[in-house]
């Protein structure tokens, strides 16, 4: 840098200072971009690794990481009063919903916030992300499957932006509804507190 001082002027010295500053900032920005790129790949790898082996029948596995929320504590009477069926929720810690069992996708809402899935034994489940999130018109929701797709337990179904939901003023609870719970002798919540996606959560008995 000192070599650029001379000829009774500091012009060349300041030019090299500016060049070094631009180089440092450019390097930082490029490093940040590549960091985000590789972090996204790692998240994808984690999602793929979540596929559940030897899933049991009549069992619903946690579709998201988070904290169990009892039906009565879900801030919407449609869910808290079980209008649609036996219900519970998860307060998520990440914006990914995974298949709670192996089966067929029978419904994907136009706004992407809800997905219906049915297993080979006829168990019908609706996963609804957030409360009143239909009002968001699909912003912040990215379904990874379409109606008619066959999915494996633990496979990623939906990605959602928790911040977008919060900014829209809605709770981001992942609501799980057993639509045909009446076809079973009992429906029991077998998890509590914090759960990881893929953990056994609901046990149904014929």
Q: How far apart are CA 186 and CA 86, in angstroms?
A: 10
Contact (CB, 8 A) for 89 and 173:
yes
| Active site (annotated) includes residue 170 | no
Under the phi-then-psi rule, with left for phi > 0, alpha for psi from -120 to 50, and beta for the rest, what region is 145?
beta
Residue-wise DSSP of 175-202:
EEEETTGGGSSEEEE---SEE-TTSEEE
Catalytic one of 45, 113, 128, 170:
128
Contact (CB, 8 A) for 174 and 162:
no
Closest CA to 93 of 177, 191, 178, 197: 197
Which are the catalytic amino acids? 128
């Amino acid at each position: 840098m000192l070599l650029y001082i001379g000829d009774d002027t500091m012009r060349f010295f300041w030019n090299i200072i500016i060049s070094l500053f631009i180089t440092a900032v450019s390097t930082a920005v490029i490093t940040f971009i590549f960091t985000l790129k590789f972090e996204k790949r790692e998240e994808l790898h984690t999602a793929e690794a979540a596929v559940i082996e030897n899933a049991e029948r009549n069992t619903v596995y946690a579709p998201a990481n988070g904290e169990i929320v009892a039906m009565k504590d879900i801030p919407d009477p449609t869910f808290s009063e079980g209008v649609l069926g036996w219900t519970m929720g998860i307060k998520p810690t990440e914006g990914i919903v995974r298949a709670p069992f192996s089966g067929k996708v029978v419904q994907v809402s136009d706004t992407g916030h809800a997905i219906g899935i049915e297993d080979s034994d006829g168990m019908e489940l609706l996963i609804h992300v957030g409360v009143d999130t239909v009002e968001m018109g699909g912003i912040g929701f990215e379904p990874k499957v379409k109606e008619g797709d066959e999915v494996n337990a633990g496979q990623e179904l939906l990605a959602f932006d928790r911040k977008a939901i919060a900014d829209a003023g809605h709770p981001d609870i992942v609501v799980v509804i057993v639509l045909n719970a009446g076809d079973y002798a009992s429906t029991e919540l077998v998890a509590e507190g914090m759960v990881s996606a893929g953990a056994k959560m609901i046990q149904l008995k014929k």
